[in-house]
């Protein structure tokens, strides 16, 4: 080549071995990522459900 950089294009292929373990690891990683993202987007799990206490006319939160 003119710049001293040789590009080899001999048609060599790259193989990816997919096993059951690697497939399961990838799927569980995606599920964990989606769970973390949904927890960051919706903080409903952090606040908790509202509980109405009508005896003192206060609105309590369950901790």
- Tens of pLDDT, residues 10-54: 667 788 888 999 999 999 999 999 999 988 888 777 777 776 666
If one counts the domains in the chain, the total is 1
User: What are the phi and psi torsion angles at 60 (to 5°)?
Assistant: -100, 155
- What band does 55 get if pLDDT is binned at 50, 70 and 90? low
CA angle 38, 19, 14 (to 5 degrees): 100
Q: Would you state the pLDDT for residue 21? A: 94
| pLDDT of 9 strictly over 90 | no
Q: Would you state the pLDDT for residue 43? A: 77
Domain range holding 41? 5-61
Q: Would you state the pLDDT for residue 42? A: 85
């Amino acid at each position: 080549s003119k710049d001293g950089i040789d590009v080899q294009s001999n048609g060599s292929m790259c193989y990816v071995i997919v096993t059951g373990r690697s497939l399961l690891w990838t799927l569980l990683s995606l599920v964990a990522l989606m769970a973390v993202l949904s927890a960051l987007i919706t903080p409903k799990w952090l606040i908790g459900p509202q509980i109405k206490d009508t005896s003192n006319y206060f609105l309590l939160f369950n901790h």
